[in-house]
Amino acid sequence: MTLVERNYRVARGPSARGAEVDLIMKDKDGTLVFVEVRQRASTDHGGAAATISRSKQRKCILGAQYYLMNLREWPPCRFDVVAIDGEAIQWLPAAFDAS
C-alpha cells in the first residue's frame, strides 16, 4: 500500500469535536483504506483493538466522508485497524464498515 494522508483531521466547529483518520492508504487494487491505529502497552484490559468503540468508528467514518467529498469519483473503500499491543502488531483488514 502507499500512503496518501497521515493524521487527516476535520473540524466540526468551536464546540463540537471533529474527526481524524490516522492513515489513508491506497491498496494495489485501488481501494482507499482508512486506517485507525491504536496502541496499548499490554493486553491486560482487552488490548488495543478492543478500544475501538462505536463512537471512535463514527469519527473515523466522518473523516472518511469528508475526505471522499473532495474526490470526483469514489473508489472502493474499507476501514482497517492496526492494533499494537506491546511489541505485537496486528493489522485487521475491514475491521468495521460505515453502516
pLDDT tens-digit profile, the chain (99 residues): 999 999 998 877 666 667 889 999 999 999 999 999 998 886 677 788 888 889 889 999 999 999 999 999 999 999 999 999 888 999 999 999 988
Domain 2-96 in this protein, CATH class? alpha beta
Torsion of CA 92, 73, 69, 36, to 10 degrees: 10
Q: How far apart are CA 74 and CA 54, in angstroms?
A: 24
Helix ranges (H only) for 1-99 are 54-69
Residue 73 cell numbers, joined? 469519483
**pTM > 0.75:** yes
As separate numbers, helices (DSSP H) first and strands (DSSP E) second, the chain gives 1, 5
